[in-house]
Structure 1
Amino acid sequence: MKLSCQENLVPGATFADRLANLAAWGYEAVELTDFDGLLRSRVAEIKSALADSPVQASTICGGSNVQFIHPDRTKREESVRQQREILKLCAEFGAIGCIVVPMFNHDTRIPGLEPIATTGQLQRELLVALMRPLAQEAADLGVCVLLEPLIRYESDFPRDLAEAASICDEVDSPGLKLMADFFHMNVEEADIASSLKSAARHLRHVHLADSNRQVPGRGHTDFVAGFKALREIGYDGFAALECRIAEPKGKTLAETARFLRECLDQAQ
């Protein structure tokens, strides 16, 4: 398993500085972010820095106001268009794929059509319909869309790894897979290790944060058990930090990398 970290969590005046710091602190990859919608304007800087660094791009997280399940068709189509562009950037940067949250709790929801279909049924059918062509485009590029289940207070669809995996089953494309976040799993999964094993067929990425959303090692999550499950299913992909980083950040990131490698050693 290769350690990654979201770029916005890393100190450094430039992207190249952040990559140098990650390498020095024990990380093999960086997770790019597009929370502000400005990733496309940084392509030249990112490609140049990656070319000169041992640190590689693992994934792209975020998209500016992506709403795949909005009642307004124009908003759905715009979300798909944005995601197509991010998938192209994944291929350009050598990342495995882009992380997608289909909807947040604050998003406008599709009204139910009871007794024909509930809101939940319509959400799923619509997501599957949108993901089929998008997943094919991702597969053609050699990357994938990564569905991320979140904690119930942020999103209730998909609600856990099992539901995300079932959506991947229905779409049935190498271009649609899922990712698992230890923070969200701590609340939504009855047993993290068992859930990881059950979703193994579609698992392509992992986010790391402790139970309190601090760096691993500062809460009560059993990372050794989770890493053991990942080893048992043959997971050899990236695991990226997405959590709060206490000051001084450089010291915290270096200590966290050492802690995670100790957990990996214990998981053998």
Structure 2
Amino acid sequence: MLLGLNMLLWTPFVTEDHFPLFERLKKVGYDGVELPLFEGTPEHYRQIGLALRDNGLQCTGIAVIPDEARSCASSTAASRQAGLDHIKWATDCLEAAGGELLCGPFYHPLGVFSGAPPTRDEIDFVAGVHKEAAVYAGRKKMRLAVEPLNRFETYIINTVSSAAELVRQVAEPNYGLLYDTFHANIEEKDPVGIIDPCIGQISHVHLSENDRGTPGKGHIPWAATLSALRSARYDGWFVIEAFGRALPQVAAATRVWRDFFPSEEEVYQQGHDFLRGQWEGSGV
């Protein structure tokens, strides 16, 4: 089990101040971290990558579309180009950090709705931009994993099956989807059952409790979920994703209005121990 932790637990922008956390996470037993790629330059992330490697950690990255002017679903060519440029920038930053996979809902800004379901044109626009982005990432030997979000955060891609359709439409070998237990818990008729038919498109996994708190302290069916992934021979990253109220920007975007855990240490320590144990049990 390749286990990482999303740094959004502490910050939307990792700096030198967070380097001591890397040593701590390595001692707990993590294999890597997921870097939020919301601002900064490739040179900034190059220094972060050096610090990660000094602590024996790998990394993945997560990116979003910051505004409508960069929406990949836009009918305006200039906006789609700006969206493509934004994904390329995030790819460059992650490459500088030594990362291997960029994930996230990098197709449309969070919390922006049309008031209707996505149109065929909107999906086609996203597919067109993402195909170019995947080709660009492929030249750098990097992968992309698009993330379906619940209906309260976006209207473009809500389910694993709709994301799988997009992956098939993009049709690039380094382009897959991110399966997130939190969003699947809201949107899927069968959050575990959807794994097997879409395993060919799943290239990244977020492990997030139903309330965004400490894994194992909610009602996500962890044993069944991990067993399904293991049975399907999934061998990619698993990344714990938990959010608190300490970061107003992140809390507002993810609709976090109350505390879900007493401390960040509980999330990364107990979350790690619980999920490692569940994974070992899933192989029995």
Alpha-carbon distance, 1:105 to partner: 6.1
Counterpart Cα distance in 2 of 1:5 and 1:200: 22
For 2:192, what is the secondary structure of its paired residue? helix
Relative to 1, partners in 2 of residues 1:158 and 1:41: Cα closer, same or farther, differing over 3 Å? same
Equivalent residue letter for 1:172 = A
Alpha-carbon distance, 1:215 to partner: 1.8
Of 42, 50, 54, 2:44 maps to 42
Ranges in structure 2 where 5+ consecutive residues have no aligned partner: 245-260
Of 104, 113, 120, 1:100 maps to 104
Q: Percent identity?
A: 22
CA deviation digits over 1:58-108, x for unaligned, max 9? 333435445211233322211111111211233333323212312246436
Kindly indicate whether the alpha-carbon contact (under 8 Å) linking 1:5 and 1:242 is maintained by their aligned counterparts in 2.
yes
Counterpart Cα distance in 2 of 1:212 and 1:119: 27
Counterpart Cα distance in 2 of 1:132 and 1:33: 22
Alpha-carbon distance, 1:44 to partner: 3.6
Kindly indicate whether the alpha-carbon contact (under 8 Å) linking 2:5 and 2:268 is maintained by their aligned counterparts in 1.
no
Equivalent residue letter for 2:52 = L
Of 27, 33, 37, 1:30 maps to 33
Counting only pairs closer than 5 Å after superposition, residues 81-160 of structure 1 correspond to structure 2 as 81-101=85-105, 102-104=107-109, 106-107=111-112, 109=114, 120-160=119-159
The two structures have a TM-score, normalised by structure 2, of 0.84
User: Could you say what the CA RMSD is over the residues aligned between the two structures, in angstroms?
Assistant: 2.4
Equivalent residue letter for 2:268 = L
- The answer for the alignment partner of 1:199 in structure 2 is 198
Kindly indicate whether the alpha-carbon contact (under 8 Å) linking 1:165 and 1:199 is maintained by their aligned counterparts in 2.
yes
Kindly indicate whether the alpha-carbon contact (under 8 Å) linking 1:15 and 1:45 is maintained by their aligned counterparts in 2.
no
Counterpart Cα distance in 2 of 1:135 and 1:7: 24
For 1:14, what is the secondary structure of its paired residue? helix
Relative to 1, partners in 2 of residues 1:190 and 1:17: Cα closer, same or farther, differing over 3 Å? same
Relative to 1, partners in 2 of residues 1:252 and 1:100: Cα closer, same or farther, differing over 3 Å? closer
Q: Give aligned pairs, total.
A: 261
Equivalent residue letter for 2:48 = I
CA deviation digits over 1:208-253, x for unaligned, max 9? 1111221211111111100001101111211112113623322432
- The answer for the alignment partner of 1:222 in structure 2 is 221
Alpha-carbon distance, 1:48 to partner: 2.0
Which runs of 4 or more aligned residues in structure 1 lie more than 4 Å from their structure 2 counterparts after TM superposition?
Answer: 10-13
Relative to 1, partners in 2 of residues 1:240 and 1:119: Cα closer, same or farther, differing over 3 Å? closer
Ranges in structure 1 where 5+ consecutive residues have no aligned partner: 113-117
Please state if 1:248 is matched with 2:263: yes
Equivalent residue letter for 2:96 = E
- The answer for the alignment partner of 1:6 in structure 2 is 6
